Amino acid sequence: MSRDDNSPEVPSRRLVLKGALAAGALTAVPSVAQAATEDAADGADAAGPTASYVNPLVRNRADPHIHRHTDGYYYFTATAPEYDRIILRRSRTLRGLTTADESVIWKKHTSGDMGAHIWAPEIHHIDGKWYIYFAAAPANDIWAIRIWVLENASRNPFEGTWTEKGQLKTAWETFSLDATTFTHRGTRYLAWAQHEPGMDNNTAVWLSKMANPWTLTGPQVRLTTPELDWEVIGFKVNEGPSVIQRGGRVFMSYSASATDHHYCLGLLTADADSDLMDPANWSKSPTPVFTSNDTTKQYGPGHNSFTVAEDGRTDVLVYHARQYKEIVGDPLNDPNRHTRIQKLGWNPDGTPDFGIPVADTPVPPDKKSRYTMTAFTGASNTDLYVYESEDAFTYSLLKGPAYTPPGGLLRDPSIMKHTDGSYWLVHTTNFTGNTIGFARSEDRVTWRSAGPRTLSTPGLARTWAPEWFVDRDGSVHVVVSLDTENNQVFRPHLLTATDRRLLNWSVPRPLTGLDQANYIDTFIVRFRGRYHAFAKNQTTNYVEHAVADRLDGPYRFTGTDDWAGWGRWRQGQALVRLDNGGWRIYFDGFTDRKYYFSDSLDGLRTWTPVQQLPGLSGVVHNVTVLRERV
């Protein structure tokens, strides 16, 4: 099923806008925009398909849109909190969208049009092509937001080329956004939000017929404007329309008020036999139909879309919400609007029953993740600090100092959990020399020295930044940066434990492909059968990416210079796998004395813009993070 494809009564006067909008023949092919089969949907109970959904479905993704296509996939797009790109996921199940790879299919322009505020994308399949409607503003005028369209003729929207079809022109050059399209009885329509000149509001919801997927035709009419008490809190807003059709009626949900906990859904209703372009044919709910709930701890539910469950029978409400009311500063700067889904019910009178936003899905005790961070701080080169987190974002101090070695330094500490259940640390012992240090703990709090190890490499002058790597076969390795010519030129080398007690180690051997330039702080992960090395190029001061089929190489660089958008002067990089299936990289911005992170949700290919690590930025250095199920 496709969703290709919000009130006292609307004032009866009809607002007709013609101007330069010439009438033209409609070319759109009808698409299915009805609700799931009515008799079957009425029989589906709450223990049906949606009972297994885990909420939030996708974290830190607002304004979600899910399109179920005829190829059997659900396609998901939404607003990223950095407002700088359009992302896409797909899965054969709704639940699978949580861990599906995320691709960046388009990025904002660096200047000019479409250079800021990339908001509310929707993906639709029309006349054999894919279209994405989204809002964007010029880089030099970030609130001059307008509607734009992308097109892709490939059968697979992850392939082919996304072509910019340009701005979708409306009657006025005013603030406009949140476009959605649907068909009704062979005619394609566009609904969107826009500010009308001379009106005392932010946005109203508008409707127009379409000549093609990027062009309006004929009059444009206002369906609803913010006028009720619950529509004007913080801002006077009607926006985010979405359409579902059932039982001889057309329903259009919309969002109202500011994007904090006052954000909510309203509903417009029209008879399917009526002229949808006549505002008098639409009735408006006098009260909101979906609001914040203190019992379930969900706040500001809104900007929804509709889809259908895997059974093809159960209608599903897709929306975003936060898990708290208290927001510091502008709500638009708060990144924690998460995508959520739940069953959409139907009342005996045939109107949609939105219910209340469901509570977060409890995490089973054996499914909870714990992230342990080890670091040294700017205040000490000799002490270990241990932090922990439930989300790899907000860390609290577990103990610090937690360990001081018998002699030498403690820098660049790396943590792993061994097969015997104990935690092991490896660290840099001095600015010069040929040793690395080991420590061991049963609880991450009390540590004891496991002795230094001397590396028997000729001419070894500096031994820096050792990092654990445990392979799929259980073999334990340390990747370490060695200066063998006393010229501060480093090459990554590999040590391999030759016994399970980690007492004996192989001689260091260079990682081929990474030994031709000055690379340091090399961190390796294995993903989908390949080894991915993230190494800092000491010459360019960029963190670069190389891949290999074997741990010892040869490695081939796939990302050099500023390939990921992280910028220069990053070091001490370390990666960890996240609960959502993505990856997070942490690195030290040592020139600006900040600590940053960035995420990848598409298999280490593209990365989100860097963000500071809250609470620890400017405090910790050269961290590593261990994820465990506890």
Rounded to an integer, what is the distance from CA 605 to the centroid of its chain? Answer: 14
Catalytic residue (choose from 196, 239, 310, 599): 239
| Catalytic annotation present for 239 | yes
Q: Is 212 in contact with 61 (CB distance < 8 Å)?
A: no
511: its two tokens? 């990682």
Q: Is 253 in contact with 3 (CB distance < 8 Å)?
A: no
> Which helix (H) or strand (E) is 40 found in, with range?
helix 38-43
- Name the DSSP class of 508: P
Hey, what amino acid is at 348?
P
The total number of residues written for the chain in this structure: 630
d(CA 486, CA 467): 22
- Which residues does residue 103 pair with via DSSP β-bridges, in sequence order? 88
Beta strands in 80-137 (DSSP E): 85-91, 103-107, 116-126, 129-137
191: its two tokens? 């609904």
- Which residues does residue 93 pair with via DSSP β-bridges, in sequence order? none
For Cα atoms 35, 14, 266, give the angle at the middle one, nearest 5 degrees: 40
Sign of CA dihedral 436, 440, 444, 447: negative
Q: Is 147 in contact with 176 (CB distance < 8 Å)?
A: yes
For Cα atoms 215, 221, 226, give the angle at the middle one, nearest 5 degrees: 120
> Which helix (H) or strand (E) is 110 found in, with range?
none
Q: Is 468 in contact with 526 (CB distance < 8 Å)?
A: no
Report the SS3 class of residue 365.
helix
Could you tell me whether strands 571-577 and 249-256 are parallel, antiparallel, or unpaired per DSSP bridges? Answer: unpaired
Tokens 């092919």 correspond to 29
574: its two tokens? 């370390």
d(CA 600, CA 478): 24
Residues in Cβ contact with 82 at an 8 Å cutoff, skipping those fewer than 6 apart = 608, 609
Sign of CA dihedral 252, 119, 212, 124: negative
Name the residue among 143, 138, 133 with its Cα closest to residue 114.
Answer: 138
Active site residues: 63, 239
